[in-house]
Amino acid sequence: MYLLQAVEQYLGSLNTWPSCIITNLFAEIPSLPVVAYLTAFFAGNDVPTTLAYRLYRACNREAVNELLRQLFYIRYSLWHASYTVRRHSMYYDVRMKNLYVAMYHTPQSSSRKNQYQYPDYGPHASASNTHRHP
């Protein structure tokens, strides 16, 4: 598949991608959370918008309607235009080989140690899905 090879130029081999990205790309019914995961992953790793959407459309038969295409492009635009969107997104950074989770403090935070829950991200995610930031 030419599209997959082109995306692998940016992300490395499909075998190293997070399992939830692969599941969302190929098997999940398109929805706002699915598009949010995919756009954060692709945009966060500098994959061009059109290339990312074309791959998604080729891999998932459900991802072919116009509304979904617009949602994908809007989420990508928001990622690049809004610091807030980037800051409140999480994605697996293929170059750093770790999950990027924005660090922010809520008024209820009583210490600088915050705990975040996240889905099975990363090619070799641990059994625990809790991650602490210093």
Residue found under tokens 């990622």? 79
Cα–Cα distance for residue pair 11/104, rounded to 1 Å: 27
Q: Residue 79's pLDDT band (boundaries 50, 70, 90)? A: confident
Q: pLDDT of 3-18, one tens digit each?
A: 999 999 999 999 989 8
Per-domain residue ranges of the chain: 1-134
Q: Residue 72's pLDDT band (boundaries 50, 70, 90)? A: very high
Q: pLDDT of 84-98, one tens digit each?
A: 666 667 777 777 676
Res. 53: pLDDT tops 90 = yes
Predicted confidence at residue 66, as pLDDT, reads 92
pTM for this prediction = 0.70
Higher pLDDT, 18 or 113: 18
Pairing of strands 114-117, 130-133: antiparallel
Q: Which of 56-60, 64-68, 79-83 has the highest mean pLDDT?
A: 56-60
DSSP 5-66: HHHHHHH--GGGS-HHHHHHHHTSPP-HHHHHHHHHHHHHTT--HHHHHHHHHHH-TTTTSH
Interval 101-125 mean pLDDT: 43
